[in-house]
Amino acid sequence: MLTAIGLMLLVLVGLFNSLGKPLIILSEIVFSIVGVLIGVSVFKMDMSIVMTGIGIIALVVLWCVMVFY
């Protein structure tokens, strides 16, 4: 898991040529996972791996669009 995060960080640093933006993106993944889990528990929905994963990806994409554009 740590190897995968490290590789993602290296790729993102290479794409953005900075360390700040990749760290923002990787920290947003953690926040989106927490947000999805809170939403699932508040609305007492069933935990579906596929739908929860799509929700996490959607939150990360929305955050990146808001921050970088």
Give the phi and the psi of residue 20 in degrees, each rounded to 5.
-65, -50
Question: Does the pLDDT value for residue 63 go beyond 80?
Answer: no
CA–CA distance, 45 with 20 (Å, rounded to integer): 35
Nearest-angstrom CA–CA distance, 7 and 38: 28
The structure tokens listed for 32 are: 């989106």
Q: pLDDT at residue 59 above 70?
A: yes
Of the two residues 69 and 7, the one the predictor is more confident about is: 7
Query: What are the pLDDT digits (tens) for 15-53?
Result: 889 999 889 888 887 887 888 888 888 988 887 778 778
pLDDT of residue 32: 79
Q: Where are the domains of the chain?
A: 2-68
CA dihedral 45, 27, 60, 64 (to 10 degrees): 150
Write down the pLDDT at residue 69: 67
Distance CA 49, CA 22 (A): 25
